[in-house]
Structure 1
Amino acid sequence: MLVPSQSLIAQMPSGTSPVVAAAPGVALATRLTPPKRRADEAIGAFSEPSVSGEWLTVRSAMPAQDAPGALHIYRKSAKGWDHFQTLLSPDARPVDDGFGWTTAIDGTTLAVGAPDYELAGVRSGAVLVYRFNGKQWALAATIGSPDPVANGYFGQNVALDRGTLVTGEARNAAPGGWAANKAAYVFKESGGKWGLQMTLPVPAELAAMTFNDGSHGFGNHVDVDGNTVAVAARDQVYLYGRRGNTWMLQQRLDAPRDPNDDKDGPGFGRSLDLEGDTLVVAALLASGKVPGAGAAFVYRRRGGQWRQEVRLMASDGGKRDMFGHWVALDKGTIVSGAFRHAVGGNRQVGAAYVFRQIKGAWTQTQKVVPSDPEQQLFTGYGVAVGDGTVVMTAGVKPDHSKSDYLWTFTLPPTKG
Structure 2
Amino acid sequence: MRSLITPALLFTLVAARPAFADVFTTDAAPTPIPPVGTASLALDMQAAFDVADVNVIAMLDHERLSDLRLSLRSSDGSSVLLADRDASGMELRFTTFDDEAAASLASGSPPFAASFRPIGDLGAFDGKPAAGTWTLVVDDLAPGNAGSIVSYSLAFNGRTYVSPDLDLPILDFEATQAFVQVDEDFEVLDVELGFDVTHSFTSDVSFFLSGPQVIAPKLLQGQGFFSTGYSSVTLDDEAPATVGTLEGPGRFTTDSGTALGTFDGMGTQGTWRLSVYDGQLEDVGQLRAWWLHLTSQESGSPLDPCAVVSLQSPLFAPFGSVALSGDRAVVGNSLGGVPGLFTGSVHVYGPLVGQWSELAELYPVTANSNDGIGTSADVDGSIVLAGAPGRDSGAIDGGAAFVFEQVRGSWIEAAELVPSVAQPGLHFGAAVALDGGVAVLGRETYFAGPTVAVVFERVAGQWIETAVLATSDVAAPPGFGYSVAVDGDTILVGARGDLGTEGAVYVFERGPTGWQEAAKLVPSGAIGVSTFGYAVDLDGSVAVVGASSDDALTGQTNGAAYVFERQQPSGAWMQTALLYPTASTPFAYFGRDVAVHGDRIAVGALNQKRAYVFDRSATGWSLAQIVTHPTSSGTVQWESIDVGPDRLLTGGGAASANGTLFGLPSSQDLYACQDAVSASAGGQQALHLGGGVGLAGDLYLVAGSASGTAPGLDLGGVQVPLNLDSYLLASLSLANQGPFGQTAGLLDDLGRATATITLPPSSPPALAGLELNHAWVGLDPLSGSLLLVSVPVPLAIVP
Fold agreement, TM-score > 0.5: yes
8 Å CA contact 1:28–1:368 kept in 2: the answer is no
Q: How far did residue 356 of structure 1 move?
A: 0.9
Q: How far did residue 287 of structure 1 move?
A: 2.6
Corresponding residue to 1:62 among 328, 335, 354: 335
Residue in 1 that maps onto 2:489:
227
8 Å CA contact 1:50–1:57 kept in 2: the answer is yes
Corresponding residue to 1:317 among 584, 588, 591: 584
Corresponding residue to 2:455 among 180, 183, 186: 186
Three-state SS of the structure 1 residue aligned to 2:607 is: coil
Three-state SS of the structure 2 residue aligned to 1:390 is: strand
Three-state SS of the structure 1 residue aligned to 2:420 is: coil
Determine the C-alpha separation between the residues in 2 that align with 1:51 and 1:192: 24
Q: How far did residue 243 of structure 1 move?
A: 1.1
Amino acid at match of 2:539: E
Determine the C-alpha separation between the residues in 1 that align with 2:307 and 2:547: 25
8 Å CA contact 1:91–1:117 kept in 2: the answer is no
Determine the C-alpha separation between the residues in 2 that align with 1:148 and 1:90: 22
In structure 2, do the counterparts of structure 1 residues 123 and 283 end up closer, same or farther at CA, with 3 Å as the change threshold? closer
What do residues 307-326 of structure 1 show as CA deviations (whole Å, max 9, x unaligned)? 00011111123121000000
Residue in 2 that maps onto 1:242:
510
8 Å CA contact 2:506–2:519 kept in 1: the answer is yes
8 Å CA contact 2:493–2:507 kept in 1: the answer is yes
Corresponding residue to 1:368 among 618, 622, 627: 627
Q: Are 1:296 and 2:557 an aligned pair? A: no
8 Å CA contact 1:91–1:118 kept in 2: the answer is no
Residue in 1 that maps onto 2:524:
256
Determine the C-alpha separation between the residues in 2 that align with 1:120 and 1:146: 8
Amino acid at match of 1:50: A
Three-state SS of the structure 2 residue aligned to 1:340 is: helix
8 Å CA contact 1:29–1:370 kept in 2: the answer is no
In structure 2, do the counterparts of structure 1 residues 204 and 296 end up closer, same or farther at CA, with 3 Å as the change threshold? closer
1:175-214 to 2 correspondences below 5 Å = 178-179=447-448, 181-206=450-475
Q: How far did residue 281 of structure 1 move?
A: 0.5
Corresponding residue to 2:308 among 24, 27, 30: 30
Determine the C-alpha separation between the residues in 1 that align with 2:331 and 2:311: 13
Q: Are 1:339 and 2:601 an aligned pair? A: no
Determine the C-alpha separation between the residues in 2 that align with 1:100 and 1:59: 4
Task: Extract structure 1 runs of 4+ deviating beyond 4 A.
Answer: none
Three-state SS of the structure 1 residue aligned to 2:360 is: strand
What do residues 366-403 of structure 1 show as CA deviations (whole Å, max 9, x unaligned)? 1111110111211x21111124110111299xxxxx44
Q: Are 1:51 and 2:324 an aligned pair? A: yes
Determine the C-alpha separation between the residues in 2 that align with 1:30 and 1:310: 29
Determine the C-alpha separation between the residues in 1 that align with 2:395 and 2:516: 34
Determine the C-alpha separation between the residues in 2 that align with 1:53 and 1:363: 24
What do residues 320-341 of structure 1 show as CA deviations (whole Å, max 9, x unaligned)? 1000000011121111111111
Q: Aligned Cα RMSD in Å?
A: 2.4
Q: How far did residue 134 of structure 1 move?
A: 3.0
Three-state SS of the structure 2 residue aligned to 1:373 is: coil
Residue in 1 that maps onto 2:430:
156
Q: Are 1:104 and 2:373 an aligned pair? A: no
Three-state SS of the structure 1 residue aligned to 2:351 is: strand
Q: How far did residue 182 of structure 1 move?
A: 2.9
Q: Are 1:406 and 2:659 an aligned pair? A: yes
Amino acid at match of 1:250: A
8 Å CA contact 1:124–1:151 kept in 2: the answer is yes
Amino acid at match of 1:203: S
Aligned residues: 353
User: Which protein has the larger Cα radius of gyration, Structure 1 or Structure 2?
Assistant: 2
Q: How far did residue 77 of structure 1 move?
A: 4.4
Determine the C-alpha separation between the residues in 2 that align with 1:324 and 1:181: 26
In structure 2, do the counterparts of structure 1 residues 123 and 408 end up closer, same or farther at CA, with 3 Å as the change threshold? same
What stretches of structure 2 of length at least 5 have no aligned partner? 1-304, 497-502, 668-691, 694-799
Q: How far did residue 81 of structure 1 move?
A: 2.0
Determine the C-alpha separation between the residues in 2 that align with 1:150 and 1:369: 40
What do residues 252-279 of structure 1 show as CA deviations (whole Å, max 9, x unaligned)? 1123233xxxx35611100011111110
Three-state SS of the structure 2 residue aligned to 1:220 is: strand
Corresponding residue to 2:610 among 335, 351, 368: 351
In structure 2, do the counterparts of structure 1 residues 164 and 253 end up closer, same or farther at CA, with 3 Å as the change threshold? same
Q: How far did residue 202 of structure 1 move?
A: 4.2
Q: Are 1:275 and 2:549 an aligned pair? A: no
What do residues 79-135 of structure 1 show as CA deviations (whole Å, max 9, x unaligned)? 342110111343443x23110111121222211111111216743211111111132
8 Å CA contact 1:170–1:180 kept in 2: the answer is no
Stretch deviating more after TM superposition (118-127 or 268-277):
118-127
8 Å CA contact 1:286–1:295 kept in 2: the answer is yes
Seq. identity, %: 27
Q: How far did residue 352 of structure 1 move?
A: 0.6
In structure 2, do the counterparts of structure 1 residues 223 and 289 end up closer, same or farther at CA, with 3 Å as the change threshold? closer
Stretch deviating more after TM superposition (245-254 or 362-371):
245-254
8 Å CA contact 1:29–1:368 kept in 2: the answer is no
Q: How far did residue 56 of structure 1 move?
A: 0.5
In structure 2, do the counterparts of structure 1 residues 120 and 187 end up closer, same or farther at CA, with 3 Å as the change threshold? closer
8 Å CA contact 1:217–1:233 kept in 2: the answer is yes
Q: Are 1:90 and 2:358 an aligned pair? A: no
8 Å CA contact 2:331–2:658 kept in 1: the answer is no
In structure 2, do the counterparts of structure 1 residues 340 and 114 end up closer, same or farther at CA, with 3 Å as the change threshold? same
Amino acid at match of 2:406: F
8 Å CA contact 1:183–1:218 kept in 2: the answer is yes
Determine the C-alpha separation between the residues in 2 that align with 1:59 and 1:158: 12
> TM-score, normalized by length of structure 2?
0.42
Three-state SS of the structure 2 residue aligned to 1:123 is: coil
Determine the C-alpha separation between the residues in 2 that align with 1:31 and 1:193: 36
In structure 2, do the counterparts of structure 1 residues 29 and 335 end up closer, same or farther at CA, with 3 Å as the change threshold? farther
In structure 2, do the counterparts of structure 1 residues 80 and 328 end up closer, same or farther at CA, with 3 Å as the change threshold? farther
Stretch deviating more after TM superposition (237-246 or 49-58):
237-246
Residue in 2 that maps onto 1:4:
none
Three-state SS of the structure 1 residue aligned to 2:474 is: helix
What do residues 53-79 of structure 1 show as CA deviations (whole Å, max 9, x unaligned)? 11011012439x944222111013463
Amino acid at match of 2:484: V
Stretch deviating more after TM superposition (270-279 or 108-117):
108-117
8 Å CA contact 1:256–1:265 kept in 2: the answer is no
Three-state SS of the structure 2 residue aligned to 1:74 is: strand
Determine the C-alpha separation between the residues in 2 that align with 1:295 and 1:136: 41
Amino acid at match of 1:52: S
Amino acid at match of 1:221: S
Residue in 2 that maps onto 1:73:
348
Q: How far did residue 220 of structure 1 move?
A: 0.9
Q: How far did residue 249 of structure 1 move?
A: 1.2
8 Å CA contact 2:641–2:648 kept in 1: the answer is yes
Q: How far did residue 242 of structure 1 move?
A: 1.3
8 Å CA contact 1:28–1:369 kept in 2: the answer is no
Three-state SS of the structure 1 residue aligned to 2:551 is: coil
Residue in 2 that maps onto 1:10:
none
Stretch deviating more after TM superposition (118-127 or 229-238):
118-127
Residue in 1 that maps onto 2:442:
168
8 Å CA contact 1:197–1:245 kept in 2: the answer is no
